[in-house]
Structure 1
Amino acid sequence: MEKQRYHHGNLRQALVEAGLSLARTGGPKAVVLRAASREAGVSHNAAYRHFEDREALLAAVSQRCMEKLGMLMDLRLSSVTENAEPARSWRRLDALGRAYVDFARTEPGWFQTAFSATGPHAPPLPEASEAAPHPFLLLTQCLDDLTEAGAVPADRRHGSEYAAWSAVHGLSHLLIDGPLRELPEQEVQLALKVTLSVISRGL
């Protein structure tokens, strides 16, 4: 099986994909080298040729989960049909926030794993040139667009991405593994609507 895996594809990528599958159902705690090795059909020792320890594998899987989140947010942005500014940028900001919370609720394992890398393996904030859509870059671009459109005063723009990100991230966690996890759907939608409204009014 190990020889076959090496022949048919990249073992490192196979292990990351295995970890991604484990994270989807079990969250970050499920991402361990031994389980990923079994999932990929290789020996445990083979995994160590690509990942020095469990934290290294988790960091790689975490990055993939973040990419999944960014892809959904990017997809939602493309669905905004409004052309006139600043209405277009306001709707894009709303779409980003809704996509973020939707991802957390529909893929809680991936969402939790996306932010699970710690210590030296924790990724820094992305560079503006990063190829894959990253939630932070999508948010900052949307806020820049609002400023350029004259909808957000320039003196309020600096640092506003931290407040906006914190608000939707906090709500997401409260809804999936906090005291708001048992809210009826109608109340969930109200909480999301009000949170996004408070962000917009604050800007």
Structure 2
Amino acid sequence: MATTHGTTSGKAGYHHGDLRNALIAAAVDLATEGGPEKVVLREAARRVGVSPTAAYRHFEGQGDLLHAVKIHGQLALVEWMERASAAVPRCEDPGDAAESRIAAMGRGYVGFALAEPGLYRAAFCNPKLPGGSDEDEEWAGLTPAGPGPEFGAFVLLTAALDALVATGRMPESNRAAAEVAAWSAVHGLSMLILDGPLKRLPLEERDAVIDRTVATITAGLTAPRSAVHGSGPDAPAGAPAE
């Protein structure tokens, strides 16, 4: 079940003064059941047991409610990544610890997508906010203006990559755009399993693919510069030198 971050679902959870949270909880349930396209303000109001007019006092429209669900999904994703990281056995070597943590976070990311596909899709949807603005404009340059909850997984990944560099496990030359490379790999794998040809893999084969993908990402992040850029005596013509 998805984490609700203090909200409760349905009529039983609603009491005077907490209608906004009750509506968000109902909307999260809708997303969990069928993805972002199932998040309808009128249906959330019906589940809570209030009129659509009452719901519109708290949300300006469909996009406003879906934005709240998106943030909820991002927070849940962070929890999965942090929980997977916390489950890693303690390592005395800081480099080993940093490397194990980045791998565990990758598995946690994919694990959330597979366990909560509807909420995962909602976490990466693009709702139209009040006034017609596009929420994804906030992600321009992949540099959040502030550490809001919608950037939680990105901030978590950035810190883990910085730790790899700080412990000497990841060459500084590999650091540029590493967030994008790692993120693209786990997100792409998640979507291939959810909606692509990998959805038909038997469970044991799927798990092996996940482990192999995470191991490949980690190996690439921590590879010596010569291995990444092909420099050295056996490098092809035109390869950059050290």
Do these two structures clear the TM 0.5 threshold for a shared fold by scoring above it?
yes
- What is the number of equivalent residue pairs in this alignment? 200
Report the residue type matching 1:93 in the other structure: I
**Counterpart residue number, 1:182:** 200
Cα deviation, residue 117, structure 1 = 2.4
The alignment-based identity, stated in percent, is 41
Structure 1 CA distance for aligned equivalents of residues 195 and 36 of structure 2: 14
Cα deviation, residue 132, structure 1 = 8.7
Structure 1 CA distance for aligned equivalents of residues 20 and 215 of structure 2: 43
Cα deviation, residue 92, structure 1 = 0.3
Q: 1:79 to 1:110 in 2, by over 3 A?
A: same
Q: 1:131 to 1:33 in 2, by over 3 A?
A: closer
Cα deviation, residue 67, structure 1 = 0.5
**Counterpart residue number, 2:152:** 134
Q: 1:122 to 1:132 in 2, by over 3 A?
A: closer
SS of the equivalent of 1:158 reads: coil
TM-score (norm: length of structure 2): 0.76
**Counterpart residue number, 1:191:** 209
| Contact 1:93–1:142 (8 Å) recurs in 2 | yes
Within-5 A mapping of 1:22-41: 22-41=30-49
The alignment's C-alpha RMSD in Å is 2.1
Cα deviation, residue 181, structure 1 = 0.6
Answer 1 or 2: which has greater helix percent: 1
* Structure 1: gaps spanning 5 or more residues: none
Higher relative contact order (CA 8 A, sep 6+): 1
> Once the two structures are superposed, what CA deviation does each residue of 1:92-147 show, in whole Å capped at 9, x if it has no partner?
01110101111111111111111112453526354564479821111111100000
**Counterpart residue number, 1:52:** 60
Q: 1:67 to 1:11 in 2, by over 3 A?
A: same
Q: Is residue 152 of structure 1 aligned with residue 170 of structure 2?
A: yes
Structure 1 CA distance for aligned equivalents of residues 84 and 185 of structure 2: 19
- Determine which structure has more spread, i.e. the larger CA radius of gyration: 2
* Structure 2: gaps spanning 5 or more residues: 1-10, 222-242
Q: 1:87 to 1:133 in 2, by over 3 A?
A: farther
